[in-house]
């Protein structure tokens, strides 16, 4: 029978016990997009050139949020991350954010990569919302995870 | 010329100065979706019945995250929220999260509603990812904002 | 019918909406006790004299926790506290902690006083637990609240 | 001579140095109670049935607080918890909260279990205080600790 | 007799009670310097050009820290800041950071400006310490405060 | 060519990847000073005697800040500290703060010692600023680091 690992046999929420697991090298990559008007897109691109801080702010916000994942997501373990990166790609109708987290530990870092992606996207929304309130964040998903007992997983 | 309000005239990031604004009643509604396999959807529905805590956990996470918005999004003001609600609707292929935030203050609560939505969705992802790692979060957007100088805005 | 204010009519948790309330002066006093062995009690008393930091650490922890109440208790509003004090009284078999919080705002500060009391007591436990693991924290209660629409309340 | 481990030989507060210790499996169980009127108790029980979130909110608050112990209690080490659970038992005149924390590490998790217990109790107080401000939190204590150099300890 | 406002008449730490004060417009400017080798200075300057994030990261860190002042400095009030800016000036032997904070409130924002300055400087140290561990942070001081009952103050 | 380790080859900020490093015993000592008027210095000294909490508050603030370093400094790793101490020395025209941090881990604790020092100094400023707003914080620097691949470093 299918069972949610974060519920005990009475349905109560719990942190999954990772006490018996061995630390191994693990990594996860997540990505997501924010779609926006051309006016907003141009403003962000201009605000990210030599003098601008837009993407720099979103990157820092994403990296800092990855480190707060255990405080934000109720049943996540607090993790000693080895590394976090957040990158941006301009697309025709918006921006793509890709985040990668890694650690040597007993549980995976999928949520850290997903959280970094989400907060970086929200930061972009915040900085451009005076121009375009209709921006839409979508396609936040796990792209790949490696390491751990279940091994490598890749989005189809 | 279009300008990002969060950048000064040299392109440096800053908090927008709300010092001259008068406090008024403001509210914002945001929503987003998480699409998943039927197996995961059934597990969450079962885990949200009499004995289950899944949506309760996601709701609490969203409400608590709304209160942390000023710590997560670099240029957001810390706000004294009057109220936050987070609601869930089951759809054919997933779940919809709708969050509403309100305050009497000098700046809007769009980011609080967007952040509550995002973290509630991430919490659902976290609790169901052992069943379905391919879940996709999308359509996070502002639905409506009211109050403030710019008045009411609604997504088309 | 009796209803919990923190649940909506479907039973879902929510922050109580204080948007329609007027800011007024409010205060709350809470207290609690920690009972311990004479050995532990003497050590704390000695560690609180000219050279010792025990009660100073517990006081600071309680004051800082009062400011974090909105982050710790899921449905509490983030509040702009006017003042917090934490005081200690030695008793025959332990210590009493009394905390007072106040603000000019739209909702009461009972939880801030209760949280300051609890964390100050836990800090004392932490600092003396190497001597006496059997210490018991009890009698944490609201002593008095003043201000707001419901006016003054005192514990019997 | 008895000495508090959290004070140095001049009486100054410090974190106990755990640098020379080996990581071992450790666990701690704590519990506490909240006594209340029958009206409040019935409301919580009703608010914890199929549609209600009361105990779910308290459980999440307790688990999340356990992860914040190192930020709340001044001299506690930040710990990479393996697991945390928070459970509730209805009693004639109130509720009992029992929390268990575990990790593989260099110092014990007593404070994490005590903190989870305290914050879960405060959350219940918060959610029912509109009905009964006279509720009393008591009997917060360590029930058992296992692991580490000092081995197993159980409350008498 | 001179008395520290953060101590009561028994010498115990407390938050100063601002309950009787009226909210007024207040601002504070602080600055500080970090001195470093030419090699480090050139690397930061290069890392702050079109492709670089050094000063952007320090600016974001300073702004976010200003919002955390009430959590970091034990007796500071949590404040609803209207605005924070952090600016940088290259000097011959290092960098100068200047931070400005403002609010409409019952207490001043000197500590917010001082904290933003300090954390921005520490972030620069962190990012350049692989090149030069001997960097020295100095001259952190309040430059000016305006507003409030005591009015304008300027450093000589 | 000199390169900042916290920037990738495109100049984007990142956390340095410590995944391939082995945990070793590491420690760091930092110090800093606050210069003030004799009136302020006497008040602090008096406020730090048998009844006073000034230095106790600053010490606790510094220790707690060391544990928050990974949340404050954007590219710092979250670290499981083994120990932190903060000490004070009265000088003719002010106070010196010295902080020591240590852990067994994959990266150094220089920033933890520097952050503890800075926040302890800011806390002293906060508590004495009603007497002397012209206090100056300076000479914050790393004194010594030990452990890790690069071995021991001492300030000249």
Percent of chain D scoring above 90 in pLDDT: 77
3-state secondary structure of F127: helix
* Set of chain C residues whose Cβ sits within 8 Å of the Cβ of E13: 56, 59-60, 63
What is the predicted pLDDT for the residue at C50?
45
Give the closest-approach CA distance of C115 to chain D in angstroms: 7
pLDDT at residue F48, rounded to an integer? 65
Measured in whole angstroms, the distance separating CA B70 from the mean position of its chain's CA atoms is 13
A12 band by pLDDT with thresholds 50, 70 and 90:
confident
Which pLDDT tens digit goes with each residue over C33-67?
A: 999 999 999 999 887 654 458 899 999 999 999 99
At residue C53, the pLDDT reads 83
Which residues of chain F make contact with A64, given a CB cutoff of 8 A?
A: 71, 74
Backbone phi, psi, residue E50, to 5°:
-50, -40
Q: Are the beta carbons of F75 and E156 separated by less than 8 Å? A: no
What is the DSSP pairing of strand F153-154 with strand E153-154? unpaired
The SS3 call for residue C137 is: strand
CA–CA min distance B52, chain D (Å): 8
C11–D110: do the CB atoms touch at under 8 Å?
Answer: no
Average pLDDT, chain E: 92
**Would you list which residues of chain D are within 8 Å, Cβ to Cβ, of chain B?**
49-50, 53, 56-57, 59-61, 64
Nearest-5° angle of CA E25, CA E30, CA E35?
165
Q: How far is Cα F121 from Cα E118, in angstroms, rounded to an integer?
A: 10
Q: In angstroms, what separates the C-alpha of F27 from chain E's closest C-alpha? A: 14
Which residues of chain F are within 8 Å of residue A85 when distances are taken between CB atoms? 8, 12, 14-15
Distances from the Cα of C87 to the Cα of C62, C99, C117, D73, D76, angstroms: 10, 6, 9, 17, 22
| Integer CA distances (angstroms), B107 to B16, B29, C7, in order | 10, 15, 28
Question: CB distance F85–D8 less than 8 Å?
Answer: yes
pLDDT in tens, F32-46: 999 999 999 999 988
Q: How far apart are CA F80 and CA F107, in angstroms?
A: 11
Give, in degrees to the nearest 5, the angle at Cα E51 between E50 and E55: 80
Q: Minimal Cα distance from A63: which residue of E?
A: E57
Subunits in contact with chain E (3 or more CB pairs closer than 8 Å): A, B, C, F
* Domains defined for chain B, CATH in brackets: 24-148 (3.30.70.640)
Report CA F152 to chain centroid distance, whole Å: 18
CB–CB of E85 and B8 under 8 A?
yes
- Mutation site for D-interface testing, chosen from A18, A20, A106 by largest number of D Cβ within 10 Å: A18
Active-site amino acid positions of A:
126
Of F54, D77, A2, nearest to C60 by C-alpha is: F54
Residues of chain E with pLDDT under 70: 1-2, 48-52
Q: Which residues of F touch E114 (CB under 8 A)?
A: 122, 125
Q: Annotated catalytic, B87?
A: no
pLDDT of residue D82: 95
From B17, B46, B93, B126, active-site residue: B126
Would you place residue A50 in the very low, low, confident or very high pLDDT band (cuts 50, 70, 90)? very low
Residues 6+ apart with CB under 8 A from F3: E43
Find the length of chain D.
156
Residuewise pLDDT in 10s, chain B (156 residues)? 347 888 888 888 899 899 889 899 999 999 999 999 999 999 998 876 544 588 999 999 999 999 999 999 999 999 999 999 999 999 999 999 999 999 999 999 999 999 999 999 999 999 999 999 999 999 999 999 999 888 899 998
Mean pLDDT, chain A, rounded, equals 92
| Closest chain E residue by Cα to residue F52 | E11
Tell whether the model's pLDDT for residue A152 goes beyond 80. yes
pLDDT category at A48 given cuts 50, 70, 90 is low
Find, among C57, C33, C36, the residue nearest to C127 by Cα. C57
Q: Which residues of B touch C14 (CB under 8 A)?
A: 63, 83-85
Is the Cβ pair C56, F61 closer than 8 Å? no
Integer Cα distance of F89 and F52 in angstroms: 16
Distance from CA of A51 to the nearest CA of B (A): 5
- Report the length, in residues, of chain E: 156
Predicted local confidence at residue A47, as pLDDT = 72
Indicate whether D2 pLDDT > 70. Answer: no
Give per-residue pLDDT as tens, B74-94: 999 999 999 999 999 999 999
Mean pLDDT calculated for residue range F51-80: 92
The minimum CA-CA distance between A80 and chain B, rounded to whole Å, is: 18
Q: How far apart are CA B37 and CA B44, in angstroms?
A: 11
What pLDDT is attached to residue F49?
A: 53
Interface TM-score (ipTM) > 0.90:
yes
Are E39 and E93 contacting, i.e. CB atoms less than 8 angstroms apart?
no
How far is residue A145 CA from its own chain's centroid?
Answer: 13
- Crossing angle of helices F110-128 and F54-67, in 10° steps, is 150
When mean pLDDT is compared across A8-22, B140-154, C17-31, F71-85, the lowest value belongs to A8-22
pLDDT for the residue numbered C76: 96
pLDDT at C51: 44
Closest Cα to residue C33, out of D99, D29, D137, D154?
D137
Name the residue facing C63 among E74, E79, E106 (closest C-beta): E74
* Per-residue model confidence (pLDDT) at position C114: 98
Q: What is the CA radius of gyration of chain C?
A: 17
C-alpha torsion D40→B49→B33→B130, nearest 10? 120
pLDDT digits (tens, 9 = 90+) for D87-109: 999 999 999 999 999 999 999 99
Q: Give the nearest partner residue to F18 out of A64, A82, A85, using CB atoms.
A: A82
Q: Residue range D32-56: average pLDDT?
A: 84
Residue F52 has pLDDT above 60, yes or no: no
Tell if the CB–CB gap between A83 and F12 is shorter than 8 Å: no
Chain A: closest CA distance from residue E51 (Å):
7
Q: pLDDT tens-digit profile of C6-35?
A: 888 888 888 989 988 989 999 999 999 999
From chain D, the residues in CB contact with C77 under 8 A are none
Chain F residues with CB within 8 Å of chain C CB: 49-50, 53, 56-57, 59-61, 64
Residue ranges of A for the binding site for substrate? 75-77, 111-112
D50 and B53 within 8 Å at the Cβ level: the answer is no
Report pLDDT for A9.
80
Q: Look at residue A6 and tell me whether its pLDDT is greater than 90.
A: no
What number of other Cβ atoms are within 10 A of residue B124's Cβ? 25
What pLDDT score was predicted for residue E62? 98
Q: Which of B66, B118, B131 to mutate to test the interface with A (most CBs of A within 10 A)?
A: B118
Contact C125 D111 (CB under 8 A): yes
Distance CA A81, CA A97 (A): 19
- Lowest-pLDDT choice from A50-59, A123-132, E31-40: A50-59
Contact yes or no for B53 and D60 at CB 8 A: yes
| Beta carbons of C64 and C57 less than 8 angstroms apart | no
Pair A32, A62: CB distance under 8 Å:
no
Calpha distance B30→B90 (Å, rounded): 17
Contact E17 C56 (CB under 8 A): no
Q: Annotated active-site positions of D, please?
A: 126
CB A115 within 8 A of CB A72: yes
d(Cα B109, Cα B100) in Å, to the nearest integer? 9
Q: How far is D86 from chain C (nearest CA, A)?
A: 15
* Token code pair at residue C42: 């003497």
Q: Are D99 and D120 in contact (CB under 8 A)?
A: yes
The verdict on a CB contact (< 8 Å) between E60 and A53 is yes
Mean of the per-residue pLDDT values of chain D: 92
Subunit contact A83:F8, Cβ cutoff 8 A: no
B64 phi/psi in degrees, rounded to 5? -65, -35
Among the partner-chain residues E59, E81, E82, the one whose CB lies closest to the CB of B12 is: E59
CA-based nearest residue to E125, from E62, E66, E71: E62
What's the CA gap between F71 and B136, in Å, rounded? 28
Residue to mutate among B8, B9, B10, B11, with most A CBs inside 10 A, is B11
E144 is in an annotated binding site: no
Cβ atoms < 10 Å from Cβ of A38: 11
Q: Which residue of E has its CA nearest to C68?
A: E71
Token couple for F33: 């000073």
Which positions in chain D have a beta carbon within 8 angstroms of at least one beta carbon in chain F?
Answer: 8, 12-19, 70-71, 74-75, 77-80, 105-106
Written as six digits, the tokens of C44 are: 């704390």
């Amino acid at each position: 029978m299918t069972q949610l690992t974060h519920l005990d046999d009475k349905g109560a929420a719990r942190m999954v016990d990772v006490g018996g697991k061995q630390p191994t090298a693990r990594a996860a990559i997540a990505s997501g997009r924010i779609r926006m008007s051309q006016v907003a897109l141009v403003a962000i691109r201009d605000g990210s050139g030599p003098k601008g801080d837009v993407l720099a702010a979103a990157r820092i916000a994403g990296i800092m949020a990855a480190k707060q994942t255990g405080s934000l997501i109720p049943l996540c373990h607090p993790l000693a991350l080895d590394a976090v990166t957040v990158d941006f790609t301009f697309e025709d109708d918006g921006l793509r954010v890709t985040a990668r987290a890694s650690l040597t530990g007993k549980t995976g870092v999928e949520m850290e990569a997903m959280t970094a992606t989400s907060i970086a996207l929200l930061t972009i929304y915040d900085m451009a919302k005076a121009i375009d309130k209709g921006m839409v964040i979508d396609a936040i998903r796990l792209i790949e995870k490696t390491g751990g007992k279940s091994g490598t997983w890749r989005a189809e």
